[in-house]
Amino acid sequence: MAILERFSLKGKVALVIGGAGPLFGSSISEALVEAGATLVSASRSLERNLTFAEKLRTQGFDAHGTQVDTCDTGAISRLHDEVIDRFGRLDVLVNSSVIQIAKGFDLESPDDWLQSARGDMAGLFALCKAFVSDMARQGRGSIINIASIYGVVANDPSLYEGTEMLQPPHYTFIKAGMINFTRYLANYYGKKGVRANCISPGGYFNNQPAPFVDRYCQRVPLGRMLGNEDIKGAVVFLASDASEYITGTNLMVDGGWTAL
């Protein structure tokens, strides 16, 4: 098979949790359908996912939207049954959702951490457990968990000085745990043909305050924040047969941030 053909996702079914999100999610979904996959996008907002899928279909892609609450194990079970009943298989699972808690260290509470744990920890586990057995039965599959540079290195408080931006402590805890859980999956299911990898993006440009953007760009070796197109290649690579001998890795898409 020619090398570019190995990057093709034609004939594969991909589910992206948080796939219609305005940041990483929509870029990830676009990358997968552009590579030929049948896409299912799911999050708590059914309307957002249906609208996003319709937009992709008008561009000629095979896209579908549905609903799931990662804090609800029953909803995850229903999502599993919906996907398998409709498409008969799942080849790629991307976990890109995160519970949003806009509080800094001084204001976060144990209840906030428990809320995050229900969706970002127990929900991640439930999603992987729901679909990994199907992947194992078919003898192949790719799980891609979207972590963060802040799951690898500590955040830099000096970047945020003079802004109202917050640094939620639960986020670093969840993302660091996600990376090692991904390694666990890779080791546990590797001999059954299931691969599990992480992508850890750097800071995503989202019209943050100018002082933050300036400091970030001065520090990162490539001199800019991550944009919509920057994560697409990594996702397609890990979803495709081009990476079939890669599992248990954490791919840094960070402009060199963690190389310093």
pTM score, two decimals? 0.96
Is the CB of residue 199 less than 8 Å from the CB of residue 146?
A: yes
- Each residue's pLDDT tens digit, 159-184: 999 999 988 888 999 999 999 999 99
Tell me, what's the pLDDT at 166?
Answer: 85
Query: 38 by DSSP, 3-state: which?
Result: strand
Q: Residue 226 pairs with which residues in a beta bridge?
A: 204
Angle at 197 between CA 48 and CA 35, to 5 degrees: 55
Q: How confident is the model at residue 240 (pLDDT cuts 50, 70, 90)?
A: very high
**φ, ψ for residue 59 (rounded to 5)?**
-95, 5
Backbone angles phi, psi at 159, to 5 degrees: -65, -25
The structural domains of the chain, with segments of one domain joined by +, span 3-253
In degrees, rounded to 5, the angle at the alpha carbon of residue 248 between the alpha carbons of residues 186 and 101 is 95
| Record: fold of 3-253 | Rossmann fold (3.40.50)
- Residues 96 and 18: their CA atoms lie apart, in Å, by 5
Q: pLDDT tens, 72-120?
A: 999 999 999 999 999 999 999 999 988 887 888 888 898 888 888 899 9
When the pLDDT of each residue in the chain is averaged and rounded to a whole number, the result is 95
